Chain A
Amino acid sequence: MTTAMQPAGGNSTRPQPSGLADVIDTILDKGLVIDAYVRVSLVGIEVLTIDARVVIASVDTYLRFAEAVNRLDISEEKQGLPGLVGSLEQNGARNKTKGALDAAGDKLREFTGGDPEPARAPRRSRREN
């Protein structure tokens, strides 16, 4: 689901350390906010990005859960959990960081399975001076 937003292949040798949604949570929601420090010389710049966050308690959520129950075969309730047994996977080698600016290869250890990405809607925000 993230395909449209992945960095274009070919010209980028960067590892994909984690999903774009995680990156957005990290650097758009966290970190020092410069407005709190610099008051005079800010430059307003348009930040185009996407909103990776799903509103998690909404009518849509409720209906999705209900539909998921509908799809669930309740008669098989007592069975095991097929297809979910994962193994520990390690991506990248550890402790290899040499130059300060080597792209970090040791970002993500995915302990089981894949990472279902939430739906996304465009988000635009602009900070004005």
Chain B
Amino acid sequence: MPVQAHDAQAPRSAPTGVYVYGILPGDIELEPGTTGVGDPAAEVRLVRQGDLAALVSDVDPAEPLGRPEDLYAHRELLDAIATEMPVLPLRFGAVVTGDDAVANELLGAHHDEFATALGQLEGHVEYVVRGRYAEDAILREVLEENPRVARLGEQIKDADPDATRGARMELGEIISNAVAAKRAQDTATLIDAAAPSVADSVLRPPGHELDAVYTAFLVAEDAAKDLEKAVRRLARDWEGRIELQLTGPLAAYDFVGAPDQAAVS
């Protein structure tokens, strides 16, 4: 790889870094002009090693990464590739010292592991289903199901917040627990509904107090339609109660193994 002459602009010769997006089969061609993270966005290129390749671009390690543009660039690059071929997505922010490290320490040293994982992903993509409770609807449900909640609700109604803090805390905690129970139940319903059309599923932790379901599914490409139908049916059942979103196809972020276990080996 040619070394770019940046020295005139950067007298202290900032160390270079190579940002790694993902690992994929080596028989890929990139469209020229594809850009990735950084400002200005650097051109994405491939580092090949045997039958594997890594998708990389140059970054200046002195520049912090993480603008929304960087995050979207990382994800969109991988998601676009995932519709064409299997890809092992790396977590955002992976930077190594150079192409040698990518080729030898990453691809070379872990060839069999990566090749096996890519083989298993072949023909599959990820979809994420996320649902958010409609607040009023879910609160009414809890009120109806729990007389204690209704009583506490009356107690705090238009009362001085400071004077009723105890009641508010109790009310809120009961509701929080009730929503957690509904979340578990609705998630089980989603998993059941999706089961015939998915190869695997991973629950994501709720990221919001009104999250109803948040699950990643690994789906064979020809089964995506079936998953969509199942989700659509659920959306109808839950209309007015849960707002459902189906996102995908995505790279298999949730299905690339447990990094912690890999670290131990």
The answer to whether A and B assemble together is yes
- Residues of A at the B interface (CB closer than 8 Å) are 5-8, 12, 14, 17-18, 20-49, 52-54, 56-57, 59, 61-70, 72, 74, 77, 80-81, 84-86, 88, 97, 99-104, 106-116, 118, 127
A34 is contacted by which of B77, B106, B207, B245 (Cβ under 8 Å)?
B106
Q: Is the CB–CB distance between A86 and B71 below 8 Å?
A: no
CB pair A43–B96 under 8 Å, yes or no, is yes
16 contacts between A and B (CB under 8 A): A14-B72, A23-B75, A27-B75, A28-B91, A30-B254, A32-B88, A34-B96, A34-B106, A38-B101, A41-B98, A43-B97, A62-B172, A66-B156, A74-B157, A80-B240, A84-B239
**B176: contacting residue among A22, A35, A62, A100, CB under 8 A:** A62
Chain A residues within 8 Å of B44, by CB: 101
**B209 close to A56 (CB less than 8 A):** yes
A49 to B173, CA, bound (A): 30
Please give me the residue from chain A that is nearest to B210 by CB atom.
A116
Q: Are A101 and B175 within 8 A (Cβ)?
A: no
B181 at the interface (CB under 8 A from A): no
Residue in A40, A85, A112 with the greatest tally of chain B CB atoms within 10 Å? A112
B121 contacts partner chain A, Cβ-Cβ < 8 Å: no
Q: Give the chain B neighbours of A100 by CB distance below 8 A.
A: 28-31, 80-81, 84-85
With contacts A28-B71, A37-B105, A48-B64 known, what are 15 further pairs, Cβ within 8 A? A14-B72, A17-B76, A25-B204, A36-B262, A40-B105, A43-B95, A45-B93, A46-B64, A57-B180, A66-B167, A68-B136, A70-B153, A81-B136, A84-B240, A115-B243
Contacting pair B245 A31 (CB below 8 A): no
Q: Given A30-B91, A41-B98, A72-B136, answer yes or no on A111-B245 (Cβ-Cβ < 8 Å).
A: yes
How far is A46 from B167 in the complex, measured between Cα atoms in Å?
44
Interface pair B80/A97, CB less than 8 Å apart: yes
B239 touches A112 (CB 8 A): yes
Q: Could you mark each residue 231-265 of chain B with 1 if its beta carbon is under 8 Å from any beta carbon of chain A, else 0?
A: 11001000111111111111001101101101100
Looking at chain B's contact residues, is the secondary structure mostly helix, strand, loop, or mixed?
A: mixed
Residues of chain A within 8 A (CB-CB) of B79 are 17, 104, 107
Q: Which residue of A lies closest to B149 (CB)?
A: A69
The secondary-structure label for the interface of chain A is: loop
**B192 interface residue (CB < 8 Å to A):** no
A112 to B: closest C-beta gap in Å:
5
Q: Spell out B's residues near A (CB within 8 Å).
A: 15, 17, 20, 23, 28-31, 34, 44, 59, 61, 64-69, 71-72, 74-77, 79-81, 83-85, 88-98, 100-101, 105-106, 109-110, 128, 130, 132, 134-137, 139-140, 143-144, 149-150, 152-154, 156-158, 167-169, 171-173, 175-176, 179-180, 204-211, 216, 228, 231-232, 235, 239-250, 253-254, 256-257, 259-260, 262-263
Shortest C-beta distance, A50 to chain B (Å), equals 8
Complex: chain B residue closest to A18, CB-CB? B247
Distance between Cα atoms of A108 and B128 in the complex (Å)? 9
**With A5-B68, A37-B105 as contacts: A81 and B240 at CB distance below 8 Å:** yes
On whether the beta carbons of B75 and A111 are closer than 8 Å, the reply is: no
Q: Of B29, B71, B89, which one neighbours A32 at CB under 8 angstroms? A: B89
- B243, A112: Cβ atoms under 8 Å? yes
Given the known interface contacts A30-B91, A61-B172, the answer about A104 and B134 at a Cβ–Cβ threshold of 8 Å is: no
Assess whether A47 is in contact with B80, with CB atoms less than 8 Å apart: no
Contact call B76/A24, Cβ cutoff below 8 A = no
Given A69-B139, A77-B143: A103 in contact with B75 (beta carbons within 8 A) = no
Q: Known contacts being A31-B253, A41-B98, A70-B158, is A114 close to B247, with CB within 8 Å?
A: no
Assembly CA distance A49 to B12 (angstroms) = 27
